[in-house]
Structure 1
């Protein structure tokens, strides 16, 4: 079965392909090269549906779309849906990370709780729609560490690491990230729904 992933972000395409290969090797995830819709929703769910509807309509295939970000407790859940644009419309991942760290510069460890959230929308060409959510709780480091991953990975320390470790996601192996991430958790919820297509 073939499904289009509604993103122009090659990092997300690669990450989804790795997640899918672990759990649904019969499912072929292809990238989307069609027009990018305006993401004017104010929630992860709204934006995921906007993208999935556009990709399904453009390709005639079932479409998956992920809208995700980092939600920081002390910031009232921000950056949240604005994670990719936190430092402005350039979508500069480095600038976003630096701004978030600067905003939390004097915040103590016990108040640095955060979570990665992934909302995945599945839209079939016939119009059927499903939405699932995956959450990955943790806290924010005071400085970037590690060279893997992308976005906010170098400052996010997931909870419940073996032996009480405090590694950032950028210090995880690809396998570790793909098995634990917010997207992996959301996709696990999605698997039974894919069987209905």
Structure 2
């Protein structure tokens, strides 16, 4: 039986550095503010492009809550350029996630179905929300492109967390 490592809510997240499309290195996980890192499969995935557009639609809601948003894939810079042109995002597009990082995050990893799909293994969707203490507050990991949190519901849930000082859930190992 295969196993995966999963990050657990309530644990320190640590720092991750990624290449930022159109910029320098982007570091995720630094304490000081709420942060959301959305992992997507890559430019080959039409469902991902649609989901990134949904994130864009709610980007201002997330910013109003004080949440820094970034998205990351294992794509190359050229593949990320294609995504950037397709979605015109306000949030950073990060690229080049390697397999050790995918594994450390507990993401499911898929092989391309053919060379026409993409030229590398890629992560299935994930979402990591880190609180200002640098602790993983919310996590969602999926093994298929059509299993993702509803962004509108996520924004509502985050508002509830902030208003009610709602604790980190799912901490029993």
**TM-score w.r.t. length of structure 2:** 0.29
Could you say which structure has the higher helix fraction? 1
Structure whose CA Rg is larger: 1
